[in-house]
Amino acid sequence: MTDRLNGIHALITGAASGIGAACARRMAGDGAQLLLADVNGDGAKRLADELGQASIQADVTRAADIRRMLDAAYDRWGRLDVLFNNAGIAEIRPLLELSEDDWDRMLGVNLRSVFFVLQAAARRMREQTPIAGSELRGKLIQTASIAAYRGGLANMPHYAASKAGVVSVTRTAAQVLAPYRITSNCICPGAVDTPMWKKIDAEWSKLEGWQAGEAWKRRTSLIPLGRPETAEDVAGLVNFLASRDSDYMTGQALNVDGGLVMGN
Ligand SMILES: NC(=O)c1ccc[n+]([C@@H]2O[C@H](COP(=O)([O-])OP(=O)(O)OC[C@H]3O[C@@H](n4cnc5c(N)ncnc54)[C@H](O)[C@@H]3O)[C@@H](O)[C@H]2O)c1
């Protein structure tokens, strides 16, 4: 526990599980005030109660929920310093079998929502005074993936495309919002041990006719640093991006993957 994030007010989407939850724990431990948002409202509330923070049930694919989420932050704090734009879904769909509905559902959550949550936050942030102790008005942090760069996940073409889109949106936002002193960066985790990867493993292993756990085993065996990634490994980077130590960084896509993107 440090006071690194004292005075920082942050909204985390997809906060009920996995990476979002680990980042919430880490950021709360370092003094941030948090609003935990998730389509799973009960899960977000449970974690918020445990951490002494606030929560809201919100489906980021719905414009009304995005508005409600931002209103909740501004009603509570009068400002928002950090957006951790993290909610996402994954599913296995071989390229030759993927349907239009599969594509729309995936891109709807992982790219369309990420864009409109970012836009809603940036519209409010540009009107506010700088963050205490910083020259910046706000910080936007998106969760992309190393899937944005190269295959390895050949059976998730729509997921990979959505994450490449997140990198693109992150960079455009960095350029457009720099004059307002709002930064925009994204993180690219590798193979992280979360409920999302349990689902990927179940679907991928079934597709290949492997035993459950085999897809995860094969994928993580390729990690140069020699062990699977934990959500806490990701939380360290997000914490840094939320802190004043990263104020001079914008437009970056940062890999936190144990070297997997070079190793596979
Ligand atoms: N697990 C990995 O290996 C990995 C790797 C790279 C990137 N990521 C990305 O990290 C992010 C978090 O993934 P995770 O592994 O923690 O997954 P997870 O499934 O454990 O958590 C995702 C959370 O997002 C929430 N969510 C999903 N759709 C939502 C919606 N429409 N509105 C609001 N909340 C919604 C879920 O309820 C869940 O709590 C995702 O964007 C994912 O693509 C994960």
pLDDT (tens, 9 = 90+) of the chain, 264 residues, equals 789 999 999 999 999 999 999 999 999 999 999 999 999 999 999 999 999 999 999 999 999 999 999 999 999 999 999 999 999 999 999 999 999 999 999 999 999 999 999 999 999 999 999 999 999 999 999 999 999 987 657 899 999 999 999 999 999 999 999 999 999 999 999 999 999 999 999 999 999 999 999 999 999 999 999 999 999 999 999 999 999 999 999 999 999 999 998 865
For residue 154, the model assigns a pLDDT of 80
57 touches ligand 1 (CB under 6 Å): no
CA 58 – ligand 1 centroid, Å: 14
DSSP string, 132-174: TTSS-SEEEEEE--GGGT--S-TT-HHHHHHHHHHHHHHHHHH
Give me the half-sphere count of Cα atoms (radius 13 Å) on the Cβ side of residue 97. Answer: 8
For residue 264, the model assigns a pLDDT of 55
For residue 152, the model assigns a pLDDT of 59
CA 247 to chain CA mean position, Å: 19
Residue 81's φ and ψ, nearest 5 degrees, are -85, -40
* Pair 189, 200: CB distance under 8 Å: no
CA distance 81 to 249: 15
Query: Which atom of ligand 1 lies closest to the CA of 146?
Result: 6
216 touches ligand 1 (CB under 6 Å): no
For residue 149, the model assigns a pLDDT of 87
* Pair 39, 60: CB distance under 8 Å: yes
Domain residue spans of the chain = 9-192+230-250
Reduced to 3 states (helix: H, G, I; strand: E, B; else coil), residue 9 is strand
**Strand 54-57 to strand 33-38: parallel, antiparallel, or no bridges (unpaired)?**
parallel
Residue whose Cα lies nearest atom 1 of ligand 1: it is 192
195 touches ligand 1 (CB under 6 Å): yes
55 touches ligand 1 (CB under 6 Å): no
Structure tokens that stand for 241 in this block: 């991006």
| 159 counts as catalytic | yes
Which CATH entry fits the domain spanning 9-192+230-250: 3.40.50.720, 3.10.150.10, 3.10.20.340, 3.40.1670.10?
3.40.50.720
Of the candidates 110, 87, 121, 117, the one whose C-alpha atom is nearest the C-alpha of residue 166 is 110
CA 88 – ligand 1 centroid, Å: 4
Distances (CA, A) of 155 to 5, 127, 179, 188, 207: 39, 43, 40, 18, 9
Choosing from 74, 159, 180, 248, which is the catalytic residue? 159
* Pair 41, 33: CB distance under 8 Å: no
Structure tokens that stand for 165 in this block: 């889109």
* Pair 92, 204: CB distance under 8 Å: yes
CA 87 – ligand 1 centroid, Å: 5
- The residue assigned the tokens 């889109």 is 165
